[in-house]
Structure 1
C-alpha cells in the first residue's frame, strides 16, 4: 500500500455511528481537563483519537463487473467451508459455501453489501458474545442477518456477528431496499465478524488467512 493510500485510510472521515463516542471523548478531554487537570484531558484525547481511527469510513471502489461477490468487510478470512445458512433467512437447510471474515479492533468496521440485489429479509437475533473468530460464534452470538435476492433469482446471505467485546450491531438497510455491490449497510462496534453464504453451486475464490478489503476484494464469481 502506498503512503498516500495509507494516509487516506487513517484520515478517512468517521462513520456516523461513531459520533457519540467521538463527541463524548472530546467533551471529557476539554471539560475534564479544565476542571480536574491534564490527566483527564489526555485520557479523553486518547479515547477520541482511538474512536476516530476505529470508526473511519474510507471510500472504496468496487470492481465494475456485476457478477461478483465482494468482501462485506475488512479483516482476515478465518473460515471457508460448507454450512447451512441461518434458519431465519429462509434460504433452505442445504449446506452452501460460507466465508467468515474476522474484524479486529484495528480493521475498518463498516459493512458493505457483497452483491447487488434486493434486501428481501433482515433478521436480528439476540445471543452470546464469545470470541467471533470461533466457529460457534455463527450460531451462538448476537447477529443480524440479511438475505439479498439477486436479479437472476439466486440468494446471498450476509450476517453481522457481534464479537467478544462488541455490543452494538448497526444496520441501516431496510427490507425492500435495492442495494448495490459495495454499498454501505451497517457497522459493528469494537470487534466482530461478518459471514457470507454463497448461492448454491458457487465456489469461493479466497482461502483462510487472506486479508480482505471490504467492497473491493472478490470472494466468488457468480458465473462459475
Structure 2
C-alpha cells in the first residue's frame, strides 16, 4: 500500500468510525431521553446524524473523498474518480471503521462492547425504501455542485430518515456496524443481506439516472 493510499484509507476508516459512533450513540441517547417516544428518539438521531455527516464530509473529503460507503466507492470507480485497484482497500477501511464505530459508541455508553442486534427490519416496503434511499444518495453525490456536496448529502440523509420506511441506511458498511449494536439504530443479522442487496441495486439505479441526465443535457445543447 502506498503512503497516499494509506492516508486515504485512514480517512475512510476514521470517518466511517465516527459516522457510526454518531448514528448509534445518538440513537442510544435519544431513546434514553425520549421516555418511549420513538418519534422524538428518531428526531434526535436524525439531527445528530445530519450535523455529524456534514462535518465529517467537510473534514475528510479533501483527503479521501469522504465516501464512508462501499457502494459510493464502487460507483466512483465506474466514474473514474477512484482507481479500481484502490477499491478493496477503501471497502476494507470502511467496514473496519463501521465495526470500530459501533464498539466506540458502546464504550461511551458503558454497555456491552460485542453485540448482535435483534431488531428485525424486513419486508418489501423496507427493501424498496433502501433502493430509493441509496439511489437518491448516489444521485445527490453525482449531481450536486462540488462546493455543496457536504450540505446536500447531509440534508438528503436527514430527509430520507423520515420519508423512507427503512430510515435510510443506504450504506452496506453502516448496515454492518448497526448489525453489531442491539440498540435503537440496530438491524438483525438476518435482515442484512436483503438490505445490502437493495443498496447495491439502488446505487446502480442512481448511477443510471445520473447518466440519463447527462445524455439529456448533451442532447439539449
Q: TM-score range by the shorter chain?
A: under 0.3
TM-score scaled by structure 2? 0.26
Higher relative contact order (CA 8 A, sep 6+): 2
TM-score scaled by structure 1? 0.26
**In proportion to residue count, which structure has more strand?**
1
Q: Which has the larger radius of gyration?
A: 1
